[in-house]
């Protein structure tokens, strides 16, 4: 998997979009100038496009797209994915996805600290430094946990030691160790992160009895 530095060197300028949290975030990353960032508290269908407008970015000039595939707000993530697919119809270019919890775990740089987000049905998404993202029960979580700011939860928070971790993408990717980490992967068809393929039960039609 490539790093942000690798993709920047190969494809700059990059348009980065992150709608995984309650705050929509966007960045314009050229190769030879400081990155520009914008954010919005609007809902994703509005906030994503307001951020791009605030950046003053020329979409045709973007050499590649970088986006957060989750975990996080499914509506926000899929709004970003829809926009990237539409823009690629006009001019195809590479897209690369990263995962929110792995980004935070890399920025924290603390082995053994679990970065979590609600996965519904009493399960939790869990990322730890140097380990793949996975879904676990509350009983399987490590003792020390962090949850990114702006991430909602429906299940009761775990009883383990839990702190909130900042989720400001501009600051996270400003860290040299994060920029150099292999956190991104090619996304030929941008979409939300799915931890496992859905399983479907066969439906057998039956006549209603009296």
The percent of residues in the chain predicted with pLDDT above 90, rounded, is: 85
* Residue 203: pLDDT band with limits 50, 70, 90: low
Q: What is the DSSP string of 46-77?
A: HHHHHHHHHHT--GGG-SEEEEEEESS-HHHH
The burial of 153, by beta-carbon neighbours within 10 Å (0-12 exposed, 13-18 middle, 19 or more buried), is given as: middle
| Residue 148, domain extent | 103-165
If asked whether residues 158 and 75 sit together in one domain, one would say no
Which CATH number covers residue 67? Answer: 3.30.420.40
Mean predicted confidence (pLDDT) in 120-132: 93
If asked whether residues 64 and 134 sit together in one domain, one would say no
Lowest mean pLDDT among 96-100, 120-124, 144-148, 178-182: 120-124
If asked whether residues 94 and 173 sit together in one domain, one would say yes
* pLDDT tens digits for range 51-72: 999 999 899 999 999 999 999 9
Mean pLDDT of the chain: 93
* Residue 202: pLDDT band with limits 50, 70, 90: low
If asked whether residues 57 and 145 sit together in one domain, one would say no
Helix 44-55 vs helix 74-90: angle between axes, to the nearest 10 degrees? 50
Q: How many Cβ atoms are within 10 Å of 58's Cβ, its own excluded?
A: 10
If asked whether residues 33 and 70 sit together in one domain, one would say yes
In a domain, 208, yes or no: no
Mean predicted confidence (pLDDT) in 128-136: 94
If asked whether residues 40 and 73 sit together in one domain, one would say yes
If asked whether residues 125 and 84 sit together in one domain, one would say no
Residues facing residue 14 across a β-bridge: 29, 64
pLDDT over 60 at 210, yes or no: no
If asked whether residues 28 and 129 sit together in one domain, one would say no
If asked whether residues 136 and 89 sit together in one domain, one would say no
Do 125 and 195 touch, CB atoms closer than 8 A?
yes
If asked whether residues 176 and 136 sit together in one domain, one would say no
Lowest mean pLDDT among 28-37, 82-91, 98-107, 157-166: 157-166
* pLDDT tens digits for range 96-113: 999 999 999 999 999 999
Q: How many domains does the chain have?
A: 2
CA pair distance 31, 123, nearest whole angstrom: 40
In three-state secondary structure terms, 16 is strand
If asked whether residues 89 and 173 sit together in one domain, one would say yes
Residues facing residue 37 across a β-bridge: 27
In a domain, 121, yes or no: yes
The burial of 90, by beta-carbon neighbours within 10 Å (0-12 exposed, 13-18 middle, 19 or more buried), is given as: exposed
CA-closest candidate to residue 42, choices 23, 56, 61, 21: 23
pLDDT of residue 204: 62
pLDDT of residue 199: 47
In a domain, 22, yes or no: yes
Instruction: Indicate if the alpha-carbon torsion angle 150, 151, 157, 160 is positive or negative.
Output: negative
If asked whether residues 9 and 85 sit together in one domain, one would say yes
């Amino acid at each position: 998997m490539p790093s942000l530095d690798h993709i920047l060197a190969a494809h700059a300028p990059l348009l980065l979009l992150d709608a995984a949290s309650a705050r929509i975030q966007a960045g314009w990353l050229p190769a030879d100038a400081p990155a520009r960032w914008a954010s919005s508290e609007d809902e994703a269908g509005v906030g994503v496009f307001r951020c791009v407008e605030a950046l003053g970015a020329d979409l045709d000039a973007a050499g590649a797209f970088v986006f957060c595939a989750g975990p996080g707000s499914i509506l926000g993530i899929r709004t970003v994915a829809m926009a990237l697919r539409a823009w690629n119809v006009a001019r195809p270019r590479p897209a690369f996805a990263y995962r929110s919890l792995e980004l935070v775990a890399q920025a924290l740089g603390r082995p053994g600290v679990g970065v979590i987000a609600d996965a519904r049905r009493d399960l939790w998404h869990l990322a730890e430094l140097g380990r793949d993202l996975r879904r676990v029960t509350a009983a399987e979580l490590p003792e020390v946990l962090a949850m990114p700011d702006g991430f909602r939860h429906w299940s009761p928070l775990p009883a383990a030691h839990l702190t909130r971790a900042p989720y400001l993408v501009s600051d996270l990717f400003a860290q040299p160790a994060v920029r150099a980490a292999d956190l991104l992967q090619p996304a030929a068809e941008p979409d939300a992160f799915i931890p496992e393929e859905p399983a479907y039960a066969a439906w057998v039609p039956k006549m209603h009895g009296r």
